[in-house]
Amino acid sequence: MKAFLGTGLLGAGFTRAMISKGEQVQVWNRTFSKAKELEQNGAKAFENIAEAVKNAEVIHLALKDDATVDEALAKAEAGLKPGAIIADHTTTSVEGAKKRTGEWKSKGFLYQHAPVFMGPQNALESTGYMLVSGDQNLIRKLEPQLSALTGKLINFGEEAGKAAAIKLTGNLFLVAFNGAIADTLAFSQALGISSNELSGLFSEWNPGNSLPSRLKRMTGNDFSNPSWRLEMARKDTGLFLSEAERKGKSLHVIPAVAALMDEWINKGHGKEDWTIIGKVE
């Protein structure tokens, strides 16, 4: 028997996938109607969270944040089966994941943080990526179940909270990437470039392919022999800003990047590779 707490878009997808694999799943959601909808798929919905987790060997969660996870688990505790495993897929703070790992172990339960790079369709189709770290014995025990829910289960070792840290780092990149796309769309519109033309460019030239090599360069601490000098990249960045201003378009990510470039140029690194702006001092 499994339980799933939090049947929003992600949780509902996970629940349907588990049922399709022959699992019996009891569900709860703060808005009960969302849990109730899953009964048509074979789940059993409960308004009382402690009832929802009764007899469940593994309790999965996909909630909003640390506070909602702590609140839900506190209310569910009375119904938890001794030795039950809590598999939390919520994106949380690192400290929150560490704290829950220790606290629930002291109560006689096992808590495994397993955040995901998965959308609702991934959850439904069991594709995407799930991250784990911490107690390797527990991870080995859960591995068959968790692997069945995702395309790839990635184990980051024995450190509790490492999976939470990796998940936040990945999400930071996605947020920054989205911000860069927003600036690119505003800039292309200012220059009269259609969305079809922009899509055509990136269909032929995929800058994402350079991510591994760029990361390697930025973390390698050698910025000599530049492929693009920082001072030249800054020159082009100035053109972005002036063209956008001339056309009355606001850019939001690029001004911050320009300021970072200026810092490194002022420190005497203008003739080095432009990736030096990623150097952590």
pLDDT band at 15 (very low <50, low <70, confident <90, very high): very high
> Residue 34's Cα: distance from chain center in Å?
23
pLDDT tens-digit readout, 241-254: 999 999 999 999 99
φ/ψ (deg, to 5) at 141: -65, -40
Helix (H, G, I), strand (E, B) or coil at 144: helix
Q: Is-contact 130 62, C-beta < 8 A?
A: no
Residue 166, CB-side half-sphere exposure with 13 Å CA sphere = 19
% pLDDT > 90, the chain = 99
Q: Mean pLDDT of all residues in the chain?
A: 97
Strand order in the sheet with 116-117: 116-117, 129-132, 152-155
Helix (H, G, I), strand (E, B) or coil at 78: helix
Quick one: average pLDDT of 226-243? 98
Helix spans in 149-276 (H):
162-190, 195-204, 211-219, 230-246, 254-266
Weakest-pLDDT range from 56-60, 92-96, 112-116, 206-210 = 206-210
Cα separation, 62 vs 205, whole angstroms: 37
- Looking at beta carbons, which pairs linking 93-100 to residues 24 or more positions away fall under 8 Å? 93/66, 93/164, 93/168, 94/161, 94/164, 94/165, 94/168, 95/161, 96/66, 96/69, 96/70, 96/164, 97/160, 97/161, 97/163, 97/164, 98/160, 98/161, 98/164, 100/69, 100/70, 100/73
Contacts of 35 (CB under 8 A, 6+ apart): 7, 27, 28, 29, 43, 45, 46
pLDDT tens-digit readout, 67-88: 999 999 999 999 999 999 999 9
Structural element, H or E, at residue 45? strand 44-45
CATH of domain 166-278: 1.10.1040.10
Q: For the chain, what are the domain ranges?
A: 2-158, 166-278
pLDDT tens-digit readout, 178-203: 999 999 999 999 999 999 999 999 99
Fold of domain 2-158: Rossmann fold (3.40.50)
Confidence (pLDDT) at 78: 97
Confidence (pLDDT) at 281: 76
Structural element, H or E, at residue 141? helix 136-148
Cα separation, 44 vs 67, whole angstroms: 25
pTM attached to this predicted model: 0.94
Confidence (pLDDT) at 152: 98
Q: How far is CA 124 from CA 9, 54, 64, 145, 270, in A?
A: 10, 25, 19, 15, 49
> Residue 49's Cα: distance from chain center in Å?
26
Confidence (pLDDT) at 280: 85
